[in-house]
């Protein structure tokens, strides 16, 4: 099991690793600028992010040692563990900005809702890969995945963390649609979903969350609040022009016009300083990684591998799209990070572990390990 | 090697139909298209923001970043003729709010009000006044704050984003409110004024001269604003100074006024609680040494904006401190006009120096009896006595012989009846009536009886204290009418003279000059003579020529029998005294008008006397010492 077969090295997706390193490199470089000039107190964010990145890389290495199929077994313990963490956050978490999201681990603050995203991917992949349905899933088969998603969804919504909760929903929808459901199921889903949406608007959403959505519809209404953040972000990106203002030269970011400039709005700093050219290079690299992920799903050796890698790609893809559209002024400020780029340990670790699973699926596409096991058992 | 009990189970679970797997994988292609679609949207949006709208956003980023601030220029100083600073500037500190830099103005004001113990409604009012102005323009919340407030705001600026301390030059009046009417006050520029002015020079909130020289000489005094551009962060805190252009101070104005002499005049008037005017002019140049109007205009109350209470008090004050009585108030010249009548009589030849007219105490004209002020009469009087004892009957007759139109002609030669052209606002032209004037104004024929009143300075006659002073100076200097001059020179901040003002001759007597000596003799007799009406003004060692005057306010029978002090203040006569000195070679003319001061000699004379004493103090002292030495 721990022996690394030479053929694994050969089938390892080196290009994916290069793209991952390239994106991470740009991200760390950007983080340095976004948190420049360094604050005299505490560890600078980019150093912290470096450590976490190395930790994540070790995590990838660790994941690669096991066949991803093991996740079929670890899935439920993992699920229960995350649910306990989410409950713990509500009971004893650190709060910031009116929301309880973190568990303080000393070295860094763990955000279980980030891990929950990956957990959701693994859980749903496991479920859908086990249950095969040629005509698509009916309503009865959907009960289990809906419940499995609903529990962490509500727990995260309670924190409240609308963005992450929404992410869980999007992952669920993406993977379910991908798994194919019957049209009746769609109909019921749409009706129930919109019903829940209306219910949520009137009874669940907090005023600030509603305001964010309203602001998107009419940004002029609140120029100094939510609309202000979006406006400043647009000014930052737009003022970058073709070639950008140059590294560390961005004025929007360094003069604090940009809110959350090293977390959710990190890409604004990149857009301002690197311009359209730099943004193009970054996005092509980033999306190549995603396409390569989809290719990994295409070449996976089994159904579980397909679902796992597809889920991981969707996890990263949707976060990136929502974050970028928010930065570019198309979506409200919902607090979804740009995976690998935004500062935040939990998000970085989760994304790296997810990519580790992806690399694992890709590496084991030829069913080498499985064959060996089969031979041995026979 | 680990062995899992469920391993076999897993094997079975994951073994699937290849066709089903292929169908699943085909759906990945569709997912790829979705990813591609969103990638295209994002790239398209980036193109739109960064390339299509790039310049626009770059401008906005620059505006975000750079905050330009105007630096108010210190106004020019105002000096007196001896170079004494009358008005200069000092820095004052205002607490201002830049609305653009605050994301919650209401909250901020509440916090500030609590911290500084202020009335929040006043802050709100200031904010309301600024509504409609651009959000980056500072709104003045507190003006001219003390050091304690200043220190508090500066030290806690992190807690009040958008609140800033602004340093602007403010006027300092070194002689308190001295010559307030001449100097004038400043105020915030009004919307009306702003509409008329060059917007490159003025912006809302600027201080602008509202009256006096501050207004008339605004272009000289204002200087040029400077500016500073600083990089600011989103909280409005300035990070770094990018560019700074120092303001150019305004030009200094040196007046012809003598601050010390002006102070003597104002103190005397204020000391006696007198309303009126004191005017002193250099006889041979027309330079004004004193332009005092009492009660003074309280310039200090206008610094930082006058309060409603103070403004109403000024408006309602029965002594009208807002009116510059030197040029804006007109009074019947009374007996001071008799010099004009005398001049007209001499020049037209209806009298000469030896002409003797009889005064029985009254004069009949038509069916009316015209009184002399002295009921018992003066008896036979010549010109000198007529002036020195101010005999009405004498001048009734001279006036009748000359006629009202020729009286007006000579009045004009001495400066009456038209504006002098001094640099003071809203100057009144006074009034010297003529037949045409009455026809035009009242559509009625001139009655000869009215000429009698005019000849002694009553009736329609009106003059400002400045005009009477100008008249006196013209008599004293031998017939040259100078334009009253208030500004000596204008210099730039480096001391270079930009404009030097020279005496301007308005009019000059020609052949009539020789008669002036006779009038001067009469005026000398007024003060120096045994029976002169202003003997009290006499100063040892100085020969003074002068004339008293009483301007009737009302001619009501009901007050005739009352003792003077029992007449209500507002019905009492105005008192004039006008004089020049030294009589041998006149230098200065002094005119005093005391509103409701009753008699020229007693009401106004002492003020003029004190003025002359102050002006000639050095020479008088020397003369006294010389006398003493001689005596020993």
Q: Is B442 exposed, middle or buried (0-12, 13-18, 19+ CB in 10 A)?
A: exposed
The CA distances from residue B270 to B324, B502, B581, in Å, are: 15, 33, 24
Pairing of strands A99-104, B78-79: unpaired
Residue B573 near residue B596, CB atoms below 8 Å: yes
| Gap from A87 CA to chain B (nearest CA, Å) | 30
Residue A302 near residue B11, CB atoms below 8 Å: no
A375 band by pLDDT with thresholds 50, 70 and 90: very low
CA distance B42 to A284: 11
CA distance B597 to B294: 13
Predicted confidence at residue B116, as pLDDT, reads: 83
Q: Is A213 exposed, middle or buried (0-12, 13-18, 19+ CB in 10 A)?
A: middle
The encoded tokens of residue A201 equal 């608007």
For B444, left (φ over 0), alpha (ψ -120 to 50), or beta? beta
C-alpha dihedral, B15 to B18 to B20 to B26, nearest 10° = 130
What's the topology of domain B67-255? Penicillin-binding protein 2a (Domain 2) (3.90.1310)
A234 has a chain B CB within 8 A of its CB: yes
**Crossing angle for the helix pair A266-298 and B18-47, nearest 10 degrees?**
160
Whether A306 sits inside 8 A of B28 (CB atoms) is yes
A297 has a chain B CB within 8 A of its CB: yes
Q: Which residue ranges of chain B lie beneath pLDDT 70?
A: 1-17, 65-67, 132-136, 199-200, 231, 233-240, 242, 554-566, 600-601, 632
Chain B CB contacts of A321 under 8 Å are 38, 42
Predicted confidence at residue B7, as pLDDT, reads: 47
* Residue B396: partners with Cβ closer than 8 Å, 6 or more residues away: B363, B365, B370, B452, B455, B456
Preceding amide of A160 cis, omega within 30: yes
Q: Report how far Cα B459 is from the mean position of its chain's Cα atoms.
A: 31
A1 band by pLDDT with thresholds 50, 70 and 90: very low
Q: What percent of chain A has pLDDT above 70?
A: 83
For chain B, the domains span 67-255, 261-295+323-508+515-626
Predicted confidence at residue B142, as pLDDT, reads: 85
The encoded tokens of residue B172 equal 């300092």
Task: List A residues 168-187 in contact with B (Cβ-Cβ < 8 A).
Answer: 178, 180
CA distance A151 to A169: 11
Which DSSP category does B248 fall into? B
Whether B27 sits inside 8 A of A180 (CB atoms) is yes
Is residue A2 pLDDT above 70, yes or no?
no
Predicted confidence at residue B257, as pLDDT, reads: 93
Per CATH, B67-255 and B261-295+323-508+515-626 having the same topology is answered no
pLDDT in tens, B118-175: 888 888 888 887 776 666 677 888 888 888 888 888 888 778 888 888 888 889 999 8
B22 has a chain A CB within 8 A of its CB: no
Q: Which residue has the tokens 């600028």?
A: A33
The encoded tokens of residue B58 equal 């770059």
Residue whose C-alpha is closest to residue B400's, from B392, B390, B411: B392
Q: What percent of chain A has pLDDT above 90?
A: 43
pLDDT in tens, A47-102: 889 999 999 999 999 999 888 988 988 889 999 999 999 998 888 766 555 556 77
3-state secondary structure of B354: coil
Whether B61 sits inside 8 A of A321 (CB atoms) is no
Nearest chain B residue to A232 by CA: give it: B61
Residue whose C-alpha is closest to residue A68's, from A291, A289, A370: A370
Whether B239 sits inside 8 A of A255 (CB atoms) is yes
**How many residues are listed for chain B in this entry?**
632
Residue of A35 and B586 predicted with greater confidence: B586
A122 band by pLDDT with thresholds 50, 70 and 90: very high
Per-position b or e across B79-94, b if 16+ CB within 10 A of its CB: bbbeeeebbbbeebbb
The encoded tokens of residue B399 equal 């006036």
Chain B CB contacts of A261 under 8 Å are none
Which parts of chain A fold into alpha helices (H)? 6-11, 14-34, 45-64, 71-92, 112-130, 139-158, 162-179, 183-199, 207-217, 226-239, 251-254, 266-298, 303-327, 345-363, 368-377
Whether B39 sits inside 8 A of A257 (CB atoms) is no
Is residue A270 pLDDT above 90, yes or no?
yes
CA distance A185 to A69: 29
**Crossing angle for the helix pair B392-402 and B338-348, nearest 10 degrees?**
50
* Residue B42: partners with Cβ closer than 8 Å, 6 or more residues away: A283, A321, A324, A325, A328
Predicted confidence at residue A82, as pLDDT, reads: 94
CA distance A149 to A250: 41
The model scores a pTM over 0.80: no
| Gap from A275 CA to chain B (nearest CA, Å) | 7
Task: List B residues 436-495 in contact with A (Cβ-Cβ < 8 A).
Answer: none
CA distance B118 to B120: 6
Question: What average pLDDT score do residues A15-21 get?
Answer: 95
The CA distances from residue B370 to A295, B156, B215, in Å, are: 126, 80, 47
The encoded tokens of residue A50 equal 């470096």
Predicted confidence at residue A167, as pLDDT, reads: 92
Give the angle A217-A221-A226 at the CA atoms, nearest 5°: 75
Is residue A226 pLDDT above 50, yes or no?
yes
Q: Is B378 exposed, middle or buried (0-12, 13-18, 19+ CB in 10 A)?
A: buried
Whether B14 sits inside 8 A of A129 (CB atoms) is yes
Nearest chain B residue to A180 by CA: give it: B24
Residue B71 near residue B246, CB atoms below 8 Å: yes
CA distance B269 to B256: 21
Helices (H) and strands (E) in chain B, counts: 24, 23
Pairing of strands B505-508, B480-482: antiparallel
The encoded tokens of residue A124 equal 């749903």
**How many residues are listed for chain A in this entry?**
378
Q: Is A91 exposed, middle or buried (0-12, 13-18, 19+ CB in 10 A)?
A: exposed
* Residue A35: partners with Cβ closer than 8 Å, 6 or more residues away: A44, A45, A46, A262, A343
Select B261-295+323-508+515-626's CATH number: 3.90.1520.10, 3.40.30.110, 3.40.50.1400, 3.40.710.10: 3.40.710.10
Predicted confidence at residue B300, as pLDDT, reads: 87
CA distance B630 to B632: 5
Which parts of B493-594 fold into alpha helices (H)? 513-528, 557-560
Whether A256 sits inside 8 A of B234 (CB atoms) is yes
Is residue A45 pLDDT above 60, yes or no?
yes
Residues pairing with B294 in the sheet: B276
The Cβ-side half-sphere exposure at B383, using a 13 Å CA radius, reads: 25
Residues pairing with B276 in the sheet: B294, B594
Whether B104 sits inside 8 A of A271 (CB atoms) is no
3-state secondary structure of B394: helix
CA distance B617 to B288: 19
The CA distances from residue B322 to B209, B266, B424, B594, in Å, are: 15, 15, 14, 16
Catalytic residues of B: 335
Predicted confidence at residue A372, as pLDDT, reads: 47
Q: What is the CA radius of gyration of chain B?
A: 38
CA distance B66 to B231: 5
B37 has a chain A CB within 8 A of its CB: no
Chain B CB contacts of A325 under 8 Å are 41-42, 45
Predicted confidence at residue B620, as pLDDT, reads: 87
| Gap from A276 CA to chain B (nearest CA, Å) | 6
Predicted confidence at residue B274, as pLDDT, reads: 85
CA distance B105 to B111: 10
Residue whose C-alpha is closest to residue A164's, from A88, A216, A93, A99: A99
Phi, psi of B323 (to 5 degrees): -90, 130
Residue B503 near residue B459, CB atoms below 8 Å: no
CA distance A182 to B627: 132
Predicted confidence at residue A339, as pLDDT, reads: 96
Q: Is B142 exposed, middle or buried (0-12, 13-18, 19+ CB in 10 A)?
A: buried
Residue B620 near residue B542, CB atoms below 8 Å: yes
**Crossing angle for the helix pair B435-442 and B404-413, nearest 10 degrees?**
100
CA distance A311 to A319: 12
């Amino acid at each position: 099991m721990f022996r690394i077969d030479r053929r694994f090295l050969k089938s390892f997706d080196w290009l994916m690793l290069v793209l991952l390193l390239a994106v991470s490199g740009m991200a760390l470089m950007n983080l340095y600028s976004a948190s420049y000039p360094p604050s005299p107190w505490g560890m600078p964010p980019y150093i912290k992010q470096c450590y976490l990145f190395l930790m994540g890389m070790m995590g990838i290495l660790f994941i690669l040692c096991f066949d991803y199929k093991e996740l079929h077994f670890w899935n439920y313990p993992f699920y229960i563990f995350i649910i306990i963490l989410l409950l713990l956050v509500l009971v004893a978490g650190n709060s910031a900005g009116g929301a309880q999201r973190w568990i303080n681990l000393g070295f860094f603050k763990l955000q279980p809702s980030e891990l929950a995203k990956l957990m959701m991917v693994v859980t749903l992949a496991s479920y859908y890969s086990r249950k095969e349905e040629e005509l698509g899933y009916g309503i009865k088969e959907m009960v289990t995945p809906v419940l499995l998603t609903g529990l962490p969804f509500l727990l995260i919504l309670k924190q409240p963390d609308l963005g992450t909760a929404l992410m869980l929903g999007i992952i669920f929808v993406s993977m379910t649609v991908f798994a194919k459901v019957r049209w009746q199921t769609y109909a019921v889903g749409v009706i129930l979903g919109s019903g829940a949406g209306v219910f949520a608007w009137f009874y669940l959403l907090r005023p600030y969350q509603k305001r964010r959505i309203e602001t998107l519809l009419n940004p002029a209404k609140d120029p100094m609040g939510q609309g202000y953040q979006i406006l400043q972000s647009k000014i930052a990106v737009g003022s970058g022009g073709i070639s950008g203002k140059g590294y560390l030269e961005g004025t929007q970011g360094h003069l604090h016009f940009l809110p959350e400039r090293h977390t959710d709005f990190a890409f604004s700093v990149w857009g301002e300083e690197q311009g359209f050219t730099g943004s193009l290079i970054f996005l092509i690299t980033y999306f190549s990684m995603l396409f390569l992920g989809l290719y990994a799903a295409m070449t996976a050796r089994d159904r579980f591998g397909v679902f796992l890698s597809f889920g991981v790609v969707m996890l990263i893809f949707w976060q990136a799209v929502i974050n970028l559209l928010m930065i570019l002024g198309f979506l409200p400020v919902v607090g979804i990070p740009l995976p690998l780029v935004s500062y935040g340990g939990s998000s970085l670790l989760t994304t790296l572990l997810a990519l580790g699973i992806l690399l694992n699926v890709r590496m084991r596409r030829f069913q080498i390990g499985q064959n060996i096991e089969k031979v041995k058992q026979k | 090697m680990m062995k899992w009990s469920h391993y076999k189970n897993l094997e079975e679970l994951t073994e699937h139909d290849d066709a089903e797997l292929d169908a699943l994988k085909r759906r990945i292609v569709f997912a790829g298209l979705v990813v591609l679609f969103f990638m295209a949207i994002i790239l398209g949006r980036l193109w739109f923001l960064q390339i299509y709208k790039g310049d626009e956003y770059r401008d906005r980023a620059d505006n975000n970043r750079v905050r330009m601030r105007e630096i108010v220029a210190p106004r020019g100083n105002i000096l007196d003729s001896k170079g004494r600073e009358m008005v200069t500037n000092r820095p004052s500190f205002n607490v201002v709010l830049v609305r653009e830099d605050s994301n919650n103005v209401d909250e901020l004001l509440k916090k500030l009000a609590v911290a500084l113990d202020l009335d929040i409604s006043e802050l709100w009012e200031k904010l309301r006044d600024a509504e409609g102005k651009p959000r980056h323009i500072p709104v003045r919340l507190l003006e001219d704050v003390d050091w304690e407030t200043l220190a508090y705001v500066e030290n806690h600026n992190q807690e009040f984003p958008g609140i800033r301390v602004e340093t602007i030059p403010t006027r300092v009046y070194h002689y308190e409110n001295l010559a307030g009417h001449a100097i004038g006050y400043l105020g915030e520029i009004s919307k009306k004024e702003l509409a008329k002015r060059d917007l490159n020079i003025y912006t809302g909130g600027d201080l602008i001269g509202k009256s006096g020289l501050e207004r008339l000489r605004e272009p000289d005094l204002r200087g040029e604003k400077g500016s500073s551009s600083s990089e600011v962060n989103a909280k409005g805190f300035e990070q770094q100074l990018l560019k700074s252009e120092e303001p150019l101070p305004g030009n200094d104005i040196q007046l012809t006024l003598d601050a010390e002499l002006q102070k003597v005049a104002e103190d005397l008037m204020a000391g006696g609680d007198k309303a009126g005017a004191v005017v002193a002019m250099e006889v041979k140049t027309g330079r004004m040494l004193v332009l005092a109007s009492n009660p003074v205009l309280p310039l200090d109350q206008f610094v930082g904006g006058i309060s409603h209470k103070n403004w109403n008090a000024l408006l309602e004050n029965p002594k009208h401190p807002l009116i510059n009585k030197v040029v804006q108030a007109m009074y019947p010249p009374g007996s001071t006009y008799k010099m004009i009548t005398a001049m007209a009589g001499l020049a037209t030849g209806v009298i000469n120096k030896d002409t003797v007219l009889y005064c029985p105490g009254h004069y009949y004209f038509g069916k009316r009896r015209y009184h002399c002020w002295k009921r018992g009469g003066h008896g036979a009087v010549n010109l000198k006595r007529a002036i020195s004892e101010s005999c009405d009957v004498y001048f009734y007759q001279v006036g009748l012989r000359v006629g009202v139109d020729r009286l007006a002609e000579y009045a004009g030669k001495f400066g009456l009846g038209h504006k002098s052209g001094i640099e003071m606002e809203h100057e009144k032209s006074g009034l010297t009536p003529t037949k045409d004037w009455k026809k035009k104004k009242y559509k009625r024929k001139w009655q000869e009886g009215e000429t009698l009143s005019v000849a002694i300075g009553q009736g329609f006659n009106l003059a400002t204290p400045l005009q009477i002073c100008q008249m006196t100076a013209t008599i004293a200097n031998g017939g040259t009418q100078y334009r009253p001059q208030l500004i000596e020179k204008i210099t730039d901040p480096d001391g270079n003279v930009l404009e030097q003002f020279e005496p301007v001759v308005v009019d000059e007597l020609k052949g009539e000059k020789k008669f002036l000596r006779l009038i001067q003799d009469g005026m000398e007799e007024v003060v120096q003579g045994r029976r002169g009406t202003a003997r009290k003004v006499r100063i040892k060692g100085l020969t003074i020529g002068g004339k008293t005057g009483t301007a009737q306010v009302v001619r009501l029978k009901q007050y005739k029998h009352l003792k003077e002090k029992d007449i209500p203040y507002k019905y009492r006569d105005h008192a004039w005294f006008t004089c020049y000195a030294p009589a041998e070679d006149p230098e200065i003319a002094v005119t005093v008008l005391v509103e409701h001061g009753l008699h020229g000699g007693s009401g106004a004379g002492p003020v003029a006397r004190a003025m002359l004493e102050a002006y000639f103090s050095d020479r008088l002292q020397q003369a006294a010492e010389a006398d003493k030495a001689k005596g020993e």
